[in-house]
Amino acid sequence: MRILIQKFGGTSMATEQTRTDVMNKILEAKKKYEGVVVVVSAIGRLGAPYATDSLLHLVNHKHTNLSPREVDLLMSVGETISSLIMANTLLDQGHKACALTGGGAGIMTDSHFNHAEVTHIHTKPLMTLLREDTIPIVAGFQGVNVDRHVTTLGRGGSDTTAVLLGEALEAEAVEIFTDVDGIMTADPRICKSAKIINTISYNEVFQMAGSGAKVIHPRAVEVARRAGIPLIIKNTFSEAEGTSIMRHIGPTNKKTVDEQIITSIAHISDRVQFSIFGQIDDEKFFTDLAKENVSIDIINIFPDRKVFTIEEHCKNKVIHLLEAFGAEYSLIEGCCKVTVIGERMTGVPGVMAKILRCLSKASVEILQTADSLSTIACLIREKDLEIAVEALHEEFMVSEYVSK
């Protein structure tokens, strides 16, 4: 049986009109696939009556006396409501549909409430419905443990639900519907020339998410990569083709920097750069940093100094520790990291030179760099962010891999 998984986010479920748009997307898919499984998120965001954050605020969740098991039971309600409302929308129009909780759909998890991991999916409930030509509407973000208690999957849980169901049912693809036309080459809020990416690799999406871009949750991408299932990011409210995430974006024959090798440019703000001069007990210092839950972003170690960046909110912890060590240091606040991402840059000479030349021409000072096989990151001052992203986008982005 040819199966497609469709996941719809909270904005897609928000009103009667948007739910009609969702229904139309489902019915279009039914013309092409023998079976369509739909996964839904809770309606809206904080302030909307059935949004997960709104439900948590009903019990002042930061100081609640509820157990983690009971908090999960509360948090699962929004998705359950969405599944029932969406099933009702389809039934009202004469289509066969069935609302299911995560447990009802066969999703089994461990007992780590609030951040449960899926251990197994029993496919019989869904396959039975699909063979009856019924559309299952599954509440995302949730499952049940061995004791049949409801559990939730943490951030990105509905996306993860969709992809895990795709893996279990051997679906041909998973479509993630949201309110944008796809993944973009840069943040359109600061880069007016940003375009929709047609095709991108799993690895590049991981790099984008880790570099500050707001894309699909990495857990969902990891499952898709493991299963080899294409993920397609689409817009509920348009006919745009969206962005396809898959294993490879195609081979390259030309190994030159002039070839289109960059997929996207991501950025992350609120960085602070520290420089330590002279000698301290490096091992103990960085161990103590870890104990303080301070995560280091970029780090370079030289014989006479160490340079690293951290999130701005951790600044005082680092200062306190440096003073306890009696270290001589300096810091630069108001920094951000801009990352050029492209799986095809591996083995291509001259990419760093081109970045340096581009930013120098734009009068952007580079404070620090880091690179991997598919990324080159530059630490710059926050005030230069927009001009840096625009300049790099203009330098690297051509039409081979992005929409015109």
Strand 150-152's sheet: what is its strand order? 118-121, 107-109, 142-144, 150-152
Q: Would you state the pLDDT for residue 399?
A: 41
Q: Are residues 14 and 153 in the same domain?
A: yes
Q: Would you state the pLDDT for residue 260?
A: 74
**Of 127, 146, 179, the domain-final residue:** 179
In a domain, 28, yes or no: yes
Could you tell me which residues are annotated as the binding site? 7-10, 52, 79, 178-179, 189, 214-215
Q: Residue 253 pLDDT more than 80? A: no
Q: Residue 236 pLDDT more than 60? A: yes
In a domain, 259, yes or no: no
Q: Would you state the pLDDT for residue 401?
A: 43
Q: Would you state the pLDDT for residue 50?
A: 86
In a domain, 126, yes or no: yes
Q: Would you state the pLDDT for residue 60?
A: 81
In a domain, 42, yes or no: yes
pLDDT digits (tens, 9 = 90+) for 65-101: 899 999 999 999 999 999 999 999 999 999 999 999 9
pLDDT digits (tens, 9 = 90+) for 97-128: 999 999 999 999 999 999 999 999 999 999 99
* Of 43-57, 244-258, 266-280, 359-373, minimum mean pLDDT range: 244-258
**Of 179, 209, 243, the domain-final residue:** 179
User: Which residue do the tokens 């995430």 mark?
Assistant: 245
Identify the residue with better confidence: 270 or 251. 270
Domain count, the chain: 2
Could you tell me which residues are annotated as the binding site for substrate? 52, 79
Q: Residue 286 pLDDT more than 70? A: yes
In a domain, 198, yes or no: no
Range of the domain at 345: 264-396
| pTM of structure | 0.86
Residue 212 C-beta-side C-alpha neighbours within 13 Å: 20
Confidence of residue 249 (pLDDT cuts 50, 70, 90): low
Q: Are residues 277 and 173 in the same domain?
A: no
pLDDT digits (tens, 9 = 90+) for 307-351: 999 999 999 999 999 999 999 999 999 999 999 999 888 888 899
Q: How far apart are CA 251 and CA 266, in angstroms?
A: 23
At a CB cut-off of 8 Å and minimum separation 6, what does 280 contact? 325, 326, 327
**Of 128, 150, 179, the domain-final residue:** 179
In a domain, 109, yes or no: yes
Average pLDDT, the chain: 92
Q: Would you state the pLDDT for residue 250?
A: 53
pLDDT digits (tens, 9 = 90+) for 20-32: 999 999 999 999 9
Q: Are residues 273 and 381 in the same domain?
A: yes
Could you tell me which residues are annotated as the binding site for ATP? 7-10, 178-179, 189, 214-215
Q: Are residues 294 and 165 in the same domain?
A: no
Parallel/antiparallel/unpaired status of strands 150-152 and 199-201: unpaired
Parallel/antiparallel/unpaired status of strands 243-246 and 231-235: antiparallel
Confidence of residue 403 (pLDDT cuts 50, 70, 90): very low
Q: Would you state the pLDDT for residue 91?
A: 98
In a domain, 231, yes or no: no
Q: Are residues 10 and 103 in the same domain?
A: yes
Q: Would you state the pLDDT for residue 400?
A: 40
Q: Are residues 17 and 120 in the same domain?
A: yes
Q: Residue 276 pLDDT more than 50? A: yes
Q: Would you state the pLDDT for residue 291?
A: 94
pLDDT digits (tens, 9 = 90+) for 132-190: 999 999 999 999 999 999 999 998 899 999 999 999 999 999 999 998 899 999 999 99
Q: Are residues 161 and 65 in the same domain?
A: yes
Q: Are residues 39 and 169 in the same domain?
A: yes
Domain of 40, CATH number, reads 3.40.1160.10
Q: Are residues 160 and 287 in the same domain?
A: no
Orientation of helix 351-361 relative to helix 385-396, angle to 10°: 130
Q: Would you state the pLDDT for residue 402?
A: 47
Q: How far apart are CA 194 and CA 395, in angstroms?
A: 12
Q: Are residues 314 and 165 in the same domain?
A: no
Decide: helix, strand or coil at residue 295.
Answer: coil
Domain of 324, CATH number, reads 3.30.2130.10
Parallel/antiparallel/unpaired status of strands 231-235 and 173-178: parallel
In a domain, 219, yes or no: no
Q: Are residues 294 and 159 in the same domain?
A: no
